[in-house]
Amino acid sequence: MALSVKRSVRPPLAVWLLGGLLLTGCVGQPTTRTAGLYVFGTLVEVTLIGANEAAVQATLDRVDALFQAMHRDWHPWKPGRLTTLNGQLSSGAWSLVDPDLLGLIEVSSTVARASGHRFNPAIGRLVALWGFHGDELPVGEAPDASLIADLVSANPRMTDLEFRDGAVRSRNPALQLDFGGIAKGYALDLARQRLRSDEVSGALLNAGGDLCVLGRGPQGPWRVGIRDPFDKSSVRVVIALPQDLCAMTSGNYERYRQGEGIRWGHLLNPESGYPVTQVASVTVIHPDGAWADAAATALAVAGGQWRDVAAVMGLDRVMVVSEGGATEMTAGFRALLIEPR
């Protein structure tokens, strides 16, 4: 999912905790609680199974605080740590970055290289040129072709970054970081790390269809539906997600630029500078949420070559829905299907 910010007002945590009344354990039984937390403008539904009510509530509060810090610090266009860092990167200066953000930059660099730079979070300027740095969806024809060509030929890549003692700088002034294609996965990874150290035996973190599980669900493996890219209200497949895996989906259907008779999706091919057209959605299942999130973007860019890129990236559980509506999947993904078979 993109780092899109559609709602600027966040309901207080207490409002969403009403959902927690849905499933509460009996005395002596584990407690199951569901709460809605906001991060990156998306409602993240957090279901926790824990030893007791107090422990589960304390964990929810900690995860909520973590998500709010990420929202503030990594926002791609609202003033915060990332916009400050981007300003410094374009000047070539060294910038000190905090460990969580440094971790995000490092994992992003690794996926970028592994994907042959199809996942390229250094193309923030291109994302902005297409109008995707705003709360509202952009409208209108494609940007001027010469502006797109200039940004493509500047060729910003994560390999332009240099690291030293917790600081980073860019050799390429055109590089601007945009973590829209990976931040949600990384946020869910950090949340799961924190949950592991708490008294939580199972968790499902669902950020608008991008989700990670920890442990098992109340009745065995977590069952999750993967949304149909052509019909928001229905699911394309239902899978049983084994312990500690993430299922991340990138699609062209939620954020797009509406031109006359053409809808430009927000997944950009860094080589052409234009949006991906062959693929409607890609779902990647992997233990690492950040890797799965970014890989889904990379495979969407790979289009018809997605199987080759998935093999290079070590991905064996992938589903791709093409713009024409066909569903393709790897054998590893098929093995998780509950319906349809």
Q: Is 178 in the site for ligand ADP (CB under 6 A)?
A: yes
| C-beta closer to ligand ADP: residue 94 or 274 | 274
Q: Is 286 in the site for ligand ADP (CB under 6 A)?
A: no
Among 291, 297, 303, 309, binds Mg ion (CB under 5 A): 297
- Alpha-carbon gap, residue 44 to 268, rounded angstroms: 25
- Alpha-carbon gap, residue 171 to 156, rounded angstroms: 9
How many residues in the shown chain lie near ligand ADP by CB under 6 A? 23
Among 255, 257, 286, 317, binds ligand ADP (CB under 6 A): 255
| C-beta closer to ligand ADP: residue 1 or 203 | 1
> How much is the CA Rg of the chain, to the nearest whole Å?
20
Give Cα separations from 265 to 57, 77, 269, 279 (angstroms). Answer: 39, 19, 11, 10
Provide, rounded to whole angstroms, the least separation between the CB of residue 137 and Mg ion: 18
User: Please, what's the b/e burial string for 222-241 (b: 16 or more CB within 10 A of its CB; e: otherwise)?
Assistant: bebbbbbbeeeeeebbebeb
Q: What are phi and psi of 18, to 5 degrees?
A: -55, -35
The edge-to-edge listing of strands for the beta sheet with 222-228 is 222-228, 231-241, 337-339
Question: Residue 73 binds which entry of ligand ADP, Mg ion, none, with Cβ cut-offs from 5 to 8 Å by kind?
Answer: none
Binding letters toward ligand ADP, positions 118-137, x by CB under 6 A: -xxx-----x----x-----
- Alpha-carbon gap, residue 285 to 247, rounded angstroms: 4
User: Kind and range of the H or E element at 130?
Assistant: none
Among 31, 170, 206, 250, binds ligand ADP (CB under 6 A): 250
CA-wise closest residue to 168 among 180, 160, 156:
160
Q: Is 212 in the site for Mg ion (CB under 5 A)?
A: no
Residues of this chain, 297-326, that bind ligand ADP according to CB under 6 A: 297, 301
Q: Is 222 in the site for ligand ADP (CB under 6 A)?
A: no
Q: What residues line the site for ligand ADP (CB under 6 A)?
A: 1-2, 119-121, 127, 132, 178, 180-181, 249-251, 254-255, 266-268, 270, 293, 296-297, 301
Binding residues (CB under 5 A) for Mg ion: these are 181, 250, 293, 296-297
